[in-house]
Structure 1
Amino acid sequence: MTTNVLILCTHNSARSVLAEGMLNHLAAKAGKDVRAFSAGSAPSGRLNPFALEALTQAGVDVSSYRSKSWDEFVGDDKPVMRIVITVCDSAAQETCPYWPGSPVKVHWGYADPSNAPGGEEGKRVAFELTRQAIAYRMTQLLALPLESMSNADLQQALTAISQS
């Protein structure tokens, strides 16, 4: 059974997109039945070009990616999420919709690479470092025995990953 993971950031333009891309990419490489989605409470409607560049350089196909509302994942005909991860502090503080299936929720905060100093090159470096940090945590997530873990054990493991 597929483990669905929803990654939230307010504007769904950078960090959540990096996380979606890396989790799907790493899961496919590892042969894991994990599917990532990303969304935001107030999607910007555009993806940050530095996020797309960092993912593309890591070998991720971004051709189908877009900025989307978390409302697209609410409803009976939507994939049931096992895990919901917030990656920006503002999304972590928002009241989320009801997610069917009572998914495990965790906050893995990352600084906004869009605010990096140093012009375009500074932003490019910040996005790549953020992509690497996200990939590290996603690799740890994929190492978990997701199919056999209770929600309580999964919550504990994901919280431990947030502290690494």
Structure 2
Amino acid sequence: MMSEIPTVLFVCVHNAGRSQMAAGYLQALAGDRVRVLSAGSEPADKINPVALAAVAEEGIDITADTAKILTTEAVRESDVVIPMGCGDTCPIFPGKRYEDWDLDDPAGQSIESVRPIRDEIGRRIRALIGELQTA
């Protein structure tokens, strides 16, 4: 059962690209209607600069974000958990919605290669917002 303000957790290994872009998109588009978390099992030292640039082109600023370690508590407090197709394992709790987004990793890719990943994340975020509003 979803709480009044749903919490969405995006997970990838380094929490430096896909999960950060997705969190930034959801925060920018949903505002205070959704609580947004992101984490990784092996957080990077910094956010991927190409991911930062890609979402900045869409008017989304994630420069203040940092990579965070995935905790059982983060999963427990989330209504929706979205691993980003990187084979990361998340603790499984009954009553949570899990949705795997199988997306290419932007690590080491050019901005031209990351834009389609960003655009797919944006499309999925818009669909997710629609689903959360009707839940």
Fold agreement, TM-score > 0.5: yes
CA distance in 2, matches of 1:110, 1:54: 15
Determine which structure has more spread, i.e. the larger CA radius of gyration.
Answer: 1
Deviation per residue, 1:115-163 (Å, 9 max, x gap): 54xxxxxx1012221111000011011112x3663xxxxxxxxxxxxxx
- In the TM superposition, residue 88 of structure 1 has moved relative to its aligned partner by 2.5
8 Å CA contact retained: 2:51, 2:106: no
One-letter identity of the residue aligned with 1:66: T
Q: Provide the aligned C-alpha RMSD in A.
A: 2.2
Q: What is the aligned-residue identity percentage?
A: 30
Whether the 8 Å contact between 1:110 and 1:130 is mirrored in structure 2 is yes
Amino acid at match of 2:128: L
1:88 maps to which of 61, 85, 90: 85
Aligned residue pairs: how many? Answer: 132
Larger helix percent? 1
* 3-state secondary structure, aligned to 2:51: helix
Write out per-residue CA displacement over residues 37-62 of structure 1, whole angstroms, 9 at most, x where no aligned residue: 11001111211000111122211122
What's the counterpart of residue 112 of structure 1? 105
Provide the residue aligned with 1:74 in structure 2.
73
Q: Deviations over 1:72-119 (max 9, x none)?
A: x617xx98211000112321xx2x2355x7421110110112254xxx
Please tell me whether residue 134 in structure 1 is matched to residue 133 in structure 2. Answer: no
Any unmatched runs of 5+ in structure 2? none
Q: Which position in structure 2 is the counterpart of 1:21?
A: 24
1:3-42 aligned within 5 A: 3-28=6-31, 33-42=33-42
Pairs within 5 Å for 1:47-58: 47-58=47-58
What is the alpha-carbon distance in structure 2 between the residues aligned to residue 131 and residue 6 of structure 1? Answer: 17
